[in-house]
Amino acid sequence: MKKLVILISGRGSNLQALLDARLPCRIAAVISNRPDAEGLDIARANDIPVEIVEHRNYADRDSFDVALAKAIDTFEPDIVALAGFMRILSNGFVARYHGRLVNIHPSLLPAYGGLHTHARALQDGVKIHGCTVHFVSPDLDHGPIIIQAAVPVLRDDSEQTLAARVLNQEHRIYPQAVKWLCNENIDLDNHGKVVFRNRKQSGFALVSPSLE
């Protein structure tokens, strides 16, 4: 059975979704860069080992990343999942976990990389927004895409209502993507493209606002 290490910085709702999914892998540890991350309590309540590698204790990104990799490697994971992990990782770190480091991002990448994705989507008046699970590459929020979910942006949406609609979908697609990795249903080819084995596809279109 493959081993998974999950990195968090905060609330941990995606961590909870990964736990709820009863994935076909062993969650070996949850690691946080913040000692007060609420998600640590979720891990502890589920008897998952937790580690804290506080970024503030390191002089620069590289030394933090070395310490983080050391903590991760103790658990010898096959897959490392960033679940609301709010630190930018160095190229060396990303290369070390090539093909087994994944992230969930609250937008339909490549649109709205970075922060404040929902506010920016509302500001632009887009009618469809969503979330993306992707392999992590050195280019922030630009790695090979594994799965996306789209949601409509409704007329009266606030940043909060839109965020909640997207988060519901995050909780569906992240466990799915990790499950594919656990079962070796997906891979990264030499061109950096995600290859699926035996995936069904649907031609369903989301139109927003809907047609009359």
Euclidean distance between CA atoms 196 and 188, whole angstroms: 9
104 forms part of the interface with ligand GRF (CB under 6 A) = yes
Binding flag, residue 11, ligand GRF (CB under 6 A):
yes
**How many Å apart are CA 170 and CA 97, to the nearest integer?**
22
Query: DSSP character for 113?
Result: -
String of b and e for 116-134 (b: at least 16 CB within 10 Å)? ebbebbbeeebeebbbbbb
Least distance (Å) between residue 83 CB and ligand GRF: 5
Q: Does 130 bind ligand GRF (CB under 6 A)?
A: no
- Of 82 and 182, nearer to ligand GRF (C-beta) is 82
Site for ligand GRF, residues 154 to 173, rule: CB under 6 A: 167, 170
Nearest partner of 117 among 167, 82, 61, 83, judged by Cα: 167
Whether residue 105 lies in the annotated active site: yes
**Residue among 105, 129, 134, 171 flagged as catalytic:** 105
> Which range of residues in 12-20, 135-143, 175-183, 186-194 is near ligand GRF by CB under 6 A?
12-20
Are 144 and 187 in contact by the 8 Å Cβ rule? The answer is no
Active site residues: 105
Contact positions toward ligand GRF, by CB under 6 A? 8, 10-14, 39, 83-84, 104-106, 167, 170
